[in-house]
Chain A
Amino acid sequence: MPRFFSNKRLILLLVGVIVLVALIAFSLKDRQSANLPEKMVKDVVGFGQSLFSKPAHSITGFFDDIDGILNTYEENKTLKARLTEYASTEVELADIKEENERLRKIIDKKDDLRAYDPIQATVISRNPDQWEEKIIVDKGENQGVKLNMAVMTANGLVGKVVLVTKFKSTVELLSTENQNFRVSAMIPGEKDIFGLMEGYDPERGELIMKRIDSGFEVKVGQKVMSSGLGGIFPKGLLIGEVTEVSTDDYGLTKLAYVRPAAEFSMLDHVMIAKRQSATVKGTDDPGTSATEGEDGS
Chain B
Amino acid sequence: MTRFIIPLIAVVLFFLEPVFSLFSPIELGDVRYTLVPRFVIVYLVFIASYYDLRKAVLYGLSFGLLYDMYHIDIIGIYTFLYPLICFLAFVIIRQVHRSTGTVMLLSLFMVVLLEMMSYLFASLIALTSINFEVFMTARLVPTVIANVIFIILFGWLFKNLIYKRVVEKQAGM
Q: A265-B23, A265-B25 are in contact. List 17 more A-B contacts (CB 8 A).
A: A4-B91, A16-B83, A20-B77, A21-B76, A26-B75, A27-B74, A28-B74, A31-B74, A53-B22, A129-B71, A129-B72, A131-B128, A136-B70, A163-B73, A170-B73, A265-B24, A265-B26
Contact partners of B79 in chain A: CB under 8 A: 20, 23
Contact status of A128 and B17, CB under 8 A, knowing A205-B30, A265-B26, A266-B22 = yes
Main SS at interface, chain A = mixed
On whether the beta carbons of A24 and B75 are closer than 8 Å, the reply is yes
Contact partners of B22 in chain A: CB under 8 A: 53, 56, 123, 125-126, 266-268
Contact status of A125 and B73, CB under 8 A, knowing A20-B80, A24-B125 = no
Q: Does A96 contact B (CB under 8 A)?
A: no
**Residue of A22, A126, A178, A203 contacting most chain B CB atoms (<10 Å):** A126
Q: Does B19 contact A (CB under 8 A)?
A: yes
Complex-state Cα separation, A130 to B32, whole angstroms: 12
Contact status of A34 and B73, CB under 8 A, knowing A23-B79, A202-B32, A267-B22 = yes
Which bucket holds chain B's interface residue count?
A: 35 or more
* Chain B, range 1-46, C-beta contacts under 8 Å to A: 11-12, 15-27, 30, 32, 34, 36-37
* Chain A, range 5-51, C-beta contacts under 8 Å to B: 16-17, 19-24, 26-28, 31, 34, 37-38, 41-42, 45-46, 48-49, 51
Q: Does A100 contact B (CB under 8 A)?
A: no
On whether the beta carbons of A129 and B36 are closer than 8 Å, the reply is yes
Contact partners of A56 in chain B: CB under 8 A: 19, 22
Contact status of A49 and B80, CB under 8 A, knowing A24-B75, A130-B34 = no
Q: Does A214 contact B (CB under 8 A)?
A: no
Complex-state Cα separation, A267 to B19, whole angstroms: 11
Q: Mark B59-70, 1 if CB is under 8 A from A, else 0.
A: 000000011011
Contact partners of A205 in chain B: CB under 8 A: 27, 30, 32
Interchain nearest-CB distance for A268 vs B (Å): 7
Q: Does A52 contact B (CB under 8 A)?
A: yes
Complex-state Cα separation, A16 to B65, whole angstroms: 13
Binding site for B on A (CB under 8 A): 2, 4, 16-17, 19-24, 26-28, 31, 34, 37-38, 41-42, 45-46, 48-49, 51-53, 56, 123-132, 134, 136, 163, 170, 177-178, 202-203, 205, 264-268
Contact status of A16 and B80, CB under 8 A, knowing A177-B129, A265-B25 = yes
Interchain nearest-CB distance for B141 vs A (Å): 15
On whether the beta carbons of B23 and A27 are closer than 8 Å, the reply is no
Complex-state Cα separation, A106 to B36, whole angstroms: 57
**Residue of B11, B34, B71, B118 contacting most chain A CB atoms (<10 Å):** B71
Q: Which of A4, A38, A128, A266 contacts B69 (CB 8 A)?
A: A38
Closest to B71 in A: A127
